[in-house]
Amino acid sequence: MNNDNNYTDGNNGNNLEAPVNKTSSLNNMNALSQYLKSTAATREGREIPPLDKWHPENIADMDLVIKANGEWWHEGGKMTRQSLVNLFATILWKEENDGVTEYFLKTPVQKIRIQVEDVPLLINDVGIVKENEVSWLEFVTTTGDVVRLDDEHLISLQAYQPDNAADRIDESQVRPYMPVRNGLNALIGRNTFYHLTEIGELTEHDGKTMLTLQSGGKSYSMTMPDH
């Protein structure tokens, strides 16, 4: 079994231009890790590669699941090496095919289909940052994405229904989400959302509780879910 705990750091001198044999496959954890490590050397920091410009025809599958709680599981085991999860998260890609949402790890040579129970990203931190005397609400995902609340990145409350009936603890479960990049949404973690209620202003309107947040000089309001 190949899992993230067996990953090694050697890159065998590969670079971004290094060809990948058309018969080879990156749907092996170590092979994909090595490939990304070698190509990442051409980028600085945690830059997201130009996924929209890559159009690989080869598609493979990997036994990798992003759980509804944000955990990544490979071949039935939880991935514990966060640096590897962060690396894979930079190539997450979403497609709508005949009304079905599919998720991939996308490279220039191959798309590797994975499974996502809810959404692929999880926000676990929020803070207030000032830029040119303007205060922004800034959110951070567990895999290193940073996004601010603005007109392009609004928080929405949506119902979540687990596929597994055994997981249906609350049939009317409502979760807060936020768009991040390339059509990918992030779940705002429970503790982070509680922090938002402390940062923002809670008011009552027509028997409903409203949360109003300030970011970038604008106000953003949402109706809080019923408990």
Given a cut of 70, whether residue 97 has pLDDT beyond it is: yes
User: pTM (2 decimals)?
Assistant: 0.82
Given a cut of 90, whether residue 195 has pLDDT beyond it is: yes
pLDDT the model gives residue 161: 81
**Selected residue with higher pLDDT from 48 and 4:** 48
pLDDT the model gives residue 17: 34
Query: What's the rounded Cα separation, in Å, for the pair 221 and 156?
Result: 10
Tell me what the mean pLDDT of segment 118-143 comes to: 97
Query: What's the rounded Cα separation, in Å, for the pair 194 and 203?
Result: 15
Note the maximum CA span of the chain. Answer: 64
Name the nearest CA neighbour of 135 among 20, 219, 76, 221.
Answer: 219
172 band by pLDDT with thresholds 50, 70 and 90: low
pLDDT in tens, 20-57: 444 357 777 787 878 777 765 444 446 899 999 999 99
Percent of residues, the chain, with pLDDT higher than 70: 81
Q: Is 107 exposed, middle or buried (0-12, 13-18, 19+ CB in 10 A)?
A: buried
Name the nearest CA neighbour of 52 among 93, 82, 86.
Answer: 93
What contacts 51, CB < 8 A, 6 or more positions away?
91, 93, 106, 182
pLDDT the model gives residue 30: 82
What contacts 219, CB < 8 A, 6 or more positions away?
212, 213
